[in-house]
Amino acid sequence: MNTRVLTGITTSGTPHLGNYAGAIRPAIQASAQPGVDAFFFLADYHALIKTDDSARVARSRLELAATWLAAGLDPERVTFYRQSDIPEIPELCWLLTCVTPKGLMNRAHAYKASVDQNTAKGVDPDDGISMGLFSYPVLMAADILLFNAHKVPVGRDQIQHLEMARDIAQRFNHLYGSDYFVLPEVVIAEEVATLPGLDGRKMSKSYNNTIPLFEGGAAALRTAVMRIVTDSRQPGEPKDAENAHLYMLYRAFASAKEAGDFRAALESGMGWGDAKQALCELLERDLAGMRARYMELMAKPERIEDILLAGAEKARKIAVPFIARLREAVGLRRLGTAKAAGASAKKTASRAARFVSFRDEAGSFRFRLLAADGEELLISVPYADPKEAGAVMRRLQSEPVSLRAQGMAYVALLDETPVAHGPDCGEAARQEAALARTRAALDTFAG
């Protein structure tokens, strides 16, 4: 089975060297791996939360699409589309909004940070906060859940949003009695490069310290590199390569041997001017061919438009039937079939036990086995790793399980190891009935 991986790119700016090394390059490399079903989308709805400059959003959509294609993204191998070309995304966003507790949104980091800033200024806590910013995590959940992505690579600042997407998916599944949504897993790539900018801080448009990736050509790249801040050590003086952000930039694009040679040269007294020239030559070697493809694509926006529309068509082959199933689930059915469908849904729900994953207050990953009427039959022991919890849950659905009385409660064992516990039944007769009901529920999965 392929693993579906989904990545969104907000269209609110022009890509720089840090974006390429930290996100674009590793994502494209990962998409070429066997067994990966990769989805890449331009998050242009999300951009509207960050800026009201329509020209900037329009330009960024073009630049980002051209950048990813020039950098080697294969639209034949992956699904590459614009968020705004998939009408099922905002529709799903509304369905999810209707089951999302407001309290969950109140805890979102971005919203809380804005409220804290307003409070510090002495203005109304919600001053300047749009509903787009407030409910941003629900739209992000819709992006992910519409395609039932298994894994979502994100920065650490987005982990909470992925956890919210899992919470929302789990709540929907529970309310409507079926596993409509896969619970997505967070992927944090620790090895991904975070490049320093011209001043040594993280390269970011917010700090105005970026090195352009393609825009402005080789001349703009060279001008930026020559502005990189260095210490006052003169040619001939040994440099502290390990703490020099010029070396960190070089290492992100060089082979191990090239990086070692460059470090040795710095420590032997190579001048900063020569070092910057060496970095320019290294970057040109890697970027010149991509830049030429980028310029060609930018000159033919209609070609990019065709690629994005083809990607949207591919994506909607999944989205359209899935949203139809979700509409059926929530009761938005054709009137001629409403009664029959409702009866069928109730009949199905009446005999459907289910597993539900959740994260407890201590941050551990757990799951419950619920009877069709919602009664809790089992609750798992805590796991630090969500994959381990998921693996145990799958084993309970597919392998023989030992159920044993334990006091007036009971325990489920795999390989003679307790993995879940039943409730305290209070008396032997109720315990025996609960054991029988739990065995029957587990048998429905085995069947």
DSSP string, 349-374: HHT--EEEEEE-TTS-EEEEEE-TTS
Report domain extents, the chain.
3-191+301-325, 205-298, 354-444
Q: How confident is the model at residue 153 (pLDDT cuts 50, 70, 90)?
A: confident
Q: How confident is the model at residue 1 (pLDDT cuts 50, 70, 90)?
A: low
234 secondary structure, DSSP code: P
Mean per-residue pLDDT over the chain, rounded: 90
CATH class of 354-444: mainly beta
Q: What is the pLDDT of residues 240-255, one digit of tens each?
A: 999 999 999 999 999 9
What pLDDT is recorded for position 76? Answer: 94
CA 77/CA 407 separation, integer angstroms: 56
Contact 252, 195 (CB under 8 A): yes
For the annotated binding site for ATP, the residues are 10-12, 18-19, 155-157, 195, 202-206
Q: What is the pLDDT of residues 159-198, one digit of tens each?
A: 899 999 999 999 999 999 889 999 999 887 655 567 899 9
For the annotated binding site, the residues are 10-12, 18-19, 143, 155-157, 195, 202-206
CATH class of 205-298: mainly alpha
Does the pLDDT value for residue 67 go beyond 80?
Answer: yes
Q: How confident is the model at residue 375 (pLDDT cuts 50, 70, 90)?
A: confident
What pLDDT is recorded for position 264? Answer: 96
**Mean pLDDT value of segment 130-140:** 95
What pLDDT is recorded for position 347? Answer: 42
For the annotated binding site for L-tryptophan, the residues are 143
40 secondary structure, DSSP code: E
Q: Give the residue among 138, 181, 175 at the shortest CA–CA distance from 330.
A: 175
Q: What is the pLDDT of residues 301-345, one digit of tens each?
A: 999 999 999 999 999 999 999 999 999 999 998 886 554 444 444
Q: Which strands make up the sheet holding 3-10, listed edge to edge? A: 79-82, 36-43, 3-10, 151-153, 185-187
**Mean pLDDT value of segment 50-74:** 94
Q: What does pTM read for this prediction?
A: 0.71
Q: Give the residue among 145, 47, 39 at the shortest CA–CA distance from 94.
A: 145
Q: How confident is the model at residue 371 (pLDDT cuts 50, 70, 90)?
A: confident
CA 266/CA 238 separation, integer angstroms: 6
Rg (CA), the chain: 27
Contact 381, 418 (CB under 8 A): yes
CA 330/CA 344 separation, integer angstroms: 13
Range from 29-43, 44-58, 334-348, 370-384 carrying the lowest mean pLDDT: 334-348
What pLDDT is recorded for position 193? Answer: 61
What pLDDT is recorded for position 349? Answer: 42
Does the pLDDT value for residue 290 go beyond 90?
Answer: yes
Does the pLDDT value for residue 211 go beyond 60?
Answer: yes
Q: Topology of 3-191+301-325 in CATH?
A: Rossmann fold (3.40.50)
What pLDDT is recorded for position 447? Answer: 52
Q: What tokens does 108 get? A: 């979102």
Quote the percentage of the chain above a pLDDT of 90.
69
